[in-house]
Structure 1
C-alpha cells in the first residue's frame, strides 16, 4: 500500500476544490503546507475578524469545511484521507495533518466532489415546496457521522431561533466596529476575497428572518412570496477547538449532501457570534444539550431564479506555503 502523496497535479486539483469551501465573509482563513507524505491545514490568524468573530469560532468552522472538502476531493481522485486533528497541542493553529492511502472512488465520492464547484451560498428566498423527510434524514445522518448533531428548528424552537437572529442583527447594527468590518469585507466587485455585491440581495423589511446586511447588495431576488426556508441548527457536545473543527466538517457534509439532491443552502453564523444570543439558541433550540455552531437555511430555490455566480477565491498558490516534491514514493 502506498502511503506517499499522489503527484503534484492531483494535490493541486484537490486543493483547488478544498478552497471552494464557504468561509465567514469569504475571508478564506486557511493555509496549507505540503510535506513529503502529508498535507497540513493551518488557521491563518491574519484573516481574523475581531468584531465579527472575536473567539475565532467562525474561522475554525470555515477551516473544518475546507478540510472536509479536501477529503471529499481526494476520495474522488482515488485517495482516502487519514486525518489527524490538532496534531500538535503546542501549536493550536495547526488544525489537521492528512495522510493519504490509495482508494477506489465510489459513485458517492464522485458525486459529492462534483457538486463542490456548483455549491453556492444562496441568500435569496426559497420556495414553498416541502423538503422530503428522507432528505432531511440524510443530511442529519451525514452530520452525525462526523460527530455533530443536526436539529430542525420548528414550532416554538423556530420562534426562539428567529428571535435570536433578530436580536443579533439589532445588536450588530448598533456596533460601529462590526459595521465597519462588514463593509470592509463585502460589496466587492473584482477582488479574490470578501462577499461580492452580485451575490447579496437587499434585505426586505417584511422578512421574518433578517439577513446579514452586506454592503452594496446587487443580487435581484425574483421571489415574490415569503421565504419558506427550513432552519437547521448544527451543534456539538463540546465547544473546544476540536469540536468547532469537526462542526465545520459536518457543515460541509450537510451542504454538499443538500446540493447533491438539488436543495439550496445558506449557512448563518450571525446569531452565534454574540455569546449571550448564542446561549439563547443553545437553550431554546438544543435544549441546553449541545453547543450551536452554525445555522443552515435549506430549501428549494424558485425555478425562476437564475443561477448564482461563483464567489471568488484566492489562487491555490497563494494559500500554500510550500510544495515539496522529494521523497514521494
Structure 2
C-alpha cells in the first residue's frame, strides 16, 4: 500500500496535525496526558512522556501506557473521520522504549468501524456518578466485548453476583492500600488541584459533589467536587468490564488502551455513560487478587464501568486538554 505522503495535496498535508489535535480528547490517568508527538510528512510518531509519569499512582507505567494506547486509538478514529486510511507500527524502535507507535497516512480503504466513532471524540466524558438500575442489554454488552476483541483484548463482563462482589472488594481494598503508598496522596492532591490555566488534571467540576450509594467504596477515588450528582435507592445497573490480555509486555498494555478507547467511544455512541477504574491494576498485589476474583489466567489491564445515566443528570463538563503546541516534539 503506497504511502499517502508521496502525493499529499496542500489540504491533505495538514491531516496528521488535525488528527493529532482531535486525538488529544483521549482519557488518561488523572488527566495527566502523558504523551508527546512528532509530526512528519504523512506520518505521526507517538512517544510516552516520562515527565508526566505518576510513580506513586502508577509504579510500573501501566496507566501511562494504557493512556497512550487510548490516544493512539483516538488518533486512528480521527484519521478515519477525516477521510484517511492509516497504517500503525507499534514499538517501531527497539532502542527507544518511549517510541510507542508510528502512524502513517496511506492510500487505501477507510476503516469504517473507526470512522463511525468520529463524532464521539468530543462527546465522551468520564462520568463518576451513580447510574440507573437499568442493566446494559446483553446484545449491546456483547457488541462491546467484540470491539475489545478486535484489538486482541478480552473484555470480561462482571455480572455473576459472587464475582461482582469479589471484584468490588478488590477495588475498594486497592483504593485503601494505595493511600499508604509513598507519593500517592501527594500526586492525588497535585492532579486534583491544578492551577487555573494548567490545561490538565481532574477539575472539581468533573467529580460528583455527593457520595455514591452505601457499599460502593470502590467508586470513590477523588475528593468530593462540584458536579451535581445523586444516589438512588435502587441498585446500580452499571456493569464492570475488565480488559485482560494474554501477556503483560509494553505492547499488551498499549493495545489494551486502544481497546479501552474503542469500548468507551462505542458506549458513548450508544448513549451509555462510562468511567475508568484503574486502582485495581496499579499495584501488583491487587492485580493478582483481581485475577483470582475473575478466575482468569490472563493479565488484568483495566476496569471499565458502563451504564445508563440517571434521568435529568446534568452534562459532565469538558475536562481541560493541553494545546497541540504543548505536545509536539520539534
Indicate the TM-score class for this superposition, using the shorter chain for normalisation.
Answer: over 0.9
Cα distance in structure 1, aligned partners of 2:212 and 2:310: 17
Paired position in structure 2 for 1:301: 309
Shift of 1:245: 0.3
Query: CA RMSD for the aligned pairs?
Result: 1.8
Q: 1:101: how far off? A: 1.4
Shift of residue 160, structure 1, vs aligned partner = 1.4
Superposition TM-score, scaled by structure 2 size: 0.92
Q: Distance in 2 between matches of 1:31 and 1:192?
A: 15
Q: Distance in 1 between matches of 2:125 and 2:116?
A: 16
Q: 2:144 aligns with which of 131, 139, 146?
A: 139
Residue 107 of structure 1, CA deviation: 6.0
Deviations 1:65-120 (A, max 9, x none): 00011011101111111111001111011000111213455764443011011000
- Choose the corresponding residue for 1:210, options 212, 218, 221: 218
C-alpha deviation, 1:157, in angstroms: 1.6
Larger mean CA deviation between 4-13 and 237-246 belongs to: 4-13
Q: Which whole-Å CA distance do the structure 1 matches of 2:176 and 2:224 have between them? A: 19
- 1:220 matched to 2:225? The reply is no
For residues 210-253 of structure 1, what are the alpha-carbon distances to aligned partners after superposition, in whole Å with 9 as ceiling and x for unaligned? 33432451112134335331101001000010100010001011
Match of 1:238 among 247, 253, 257: 247
Shift of 1:198: 0.3
Where do residues 1-329 of structure 1 align in structure 2 (5 Å cutoff)?
A: 3-5=3-5, 7-103=12-108, 105=110, 108-154=113-159, 155-175=161-181, 177-188=183-194, 189-202=196-209, 203-204=211-212, 206-215=214-223, 217-225=225-233, 226-285=235-294, 287-322=295-330
| Distance across 2 between alignment mates of 1:81 and 1:302 | 38
CA distance in structure 1 between the partners assigned to 2:189 and 2:220 by the alignment = 11
Q: Gaps (5+ residues) in structure 1?
A: 323-329
Shift of 1:11: 2.2
8 A contact 2:172–2:217 mirrored in 1:
yes
Q: Please list every run of 5 or more consecutive structure 2 residues that lacks an aligned counterpart in the other structure.
A: none
Partner of 1:325: none
Instruction: Count residues in correspondence.
Output: 321
TM-score (norm 1): 0.92
What CA deviation, in whole Å up to 9, does each residue of 1:106-162 have, x standing for no partner?
Answer: 764443011011000000101111211111111100100101000011222211111
Alpha-carbon separation, structure 1, partners of 2:297 and 2:112: 36
Q: Distance in 2 between matches of 1:187 and 1:222?
A: 23
CA contact (8 A) 2:136 2:238 kept: no
